Amino acid sequence: MEFIRIGIYMAMESEAKAFIESLEFTSGIDTSPYGFKSYSAEDKNYKIQLLVGEQDSKYNVQSVGTVPAAIATDMLIKNFNPNVVINAGTAGGFKSRGAQIGEVYAADSTQFHNRRIQIPGYAEYGRYYLTHKNDYYQKIISNLNLKAGLLTTGDSLDYSDLDKELVEPNKAVIKDMEAAAIAWVCYHHQTPAIFLKSVTDIVDGPHANVNEFLQNLQEASTNLSKTLIRLIQSHAL
Ligand code: ADE
């Protein structure tokens, strides 16, 4: 078993709370100016640096979305030099692809769905499709028995008809607001990335996403934390 440095980014404190309480982390340190909080934990097999987008200082809400996610990931990689970056969080699931609330996925690929640029060559750049079937991913999939598939990212919680046009042909299984930006940063640093997402709401179901998200956030975050702990403690990396 080799010693491993694991960098983790979680956008919301609500998603991270159960995980922070389950492992012996140092208390969060503010990494100004963005209001990210930094937590660390270690034992003989691993060292973990966790960044959480805890609070936007202007609007006093948690820092969801691609911009904070990209900046935090760049900070994690430059300051901590991780062997692998894990983005853990919640996602909407597509019931047409078999997703159910509370399930945890390990995405095998990522794309943006709301960067529509109709100039030759730029459509592919906008989508920025990347696969993540690295050695860590292969181990996780075989050890933890998680669902897999394409994770699609946009900066909106809703799902417009235009979003649908880019998502449907590619058969995404889950949808979030950070992953493709984190994938972009990791790609440029050549750092392997893992995406663990727990389903809070059904994107193509009958209920409003906001209500489902708020209703299921705690259960989904608990499942996410259990998966992270299994992954770390069973040496599945
Ligand atoms: N995170 C949780 N649910 C989501 C959804 N429906 N869309 C984007 N991000 C999410």
- Cβ contact 174:99 at 8 Å: yes
Residue with token string 């010693």:
3
67 pocket-lining for ligand 1 (C-beta < 6 Å): no
Measured between alpha carbons, how far is 23 from 225 in angstroms, rounded to an integer?
A: 10
54 CB within 6 A, ligand 1: no
Nearest-10 Cα torsion for 79, 84, 85, 88: -140
Distance separating alpha carbons of residues 212 and 201, to the nearest angstrom: 5
CA 225 to chain centre: 13
Architecture of domain 4-233: 3-Layer(aba) Sandwich (3.40)
Annotated catalytic residue within 178, 201, 204, 219: 201
From the candidates 15, 108, 163, 176, give the one annotated as an active-site residue. Answer: 15
Q: Is the CB of 217 under 6 A from ligand 1?
A: no
CA distance 83 to 3: 10
How many Å lie between the centroid of ligand 1 and the Cα of residue 85? 21
CA proximity to 99, closest of 56, 64, 150, 51: 150
Q: What is the chain's mean pLDDT, rounded? A: 95
Known active-site residue 15: yes
Check whether 105 has a pLDDT greater than 80: yes
Whether the pLDDT of residue 235 is over 80: the answer is no
pLDDT digits (tens, 9 = 90+) for 146-189: 999 999 999 999 999 999 988 999 999 999 999 999 999 999 99
- 46-59 mean pLDDT: 95
Assess whether 158 carries a catalytic annotation. Answer: no
Measure 131 CA to ligand 1 centroid, in angstroms. 20
Q: What is the pLDDT of residue 32?
A: 83
pLDDT at 224: 98
Nearest-CA residue for atom 8 of ligand 1: 176
Whether ligand 1 lies within 6 angstroms of the CB of 73 is answered as no
Cα 138 to ligand 1 centroid, rounded to whole Å: 25
CA 216 – ligand 1 centroid, Å: 12
Share of the chain above pLDDT 90, in %: 89
Distance (Å, rounded) from C-alpha 145 to C-alpha 65?
Answer: 28
CA proximity to 19, closest of 69, 94, 119, 86: 86
Q: Quick count: other Cβ atoms within 10 Å of Cβ 150?
A: 20
Q: Is 237 helix (H, G, I), strand (E, B) or coil?
A: coil
Q: Output the CA 46–ligand 1 centroid distance in Å.
A: 30
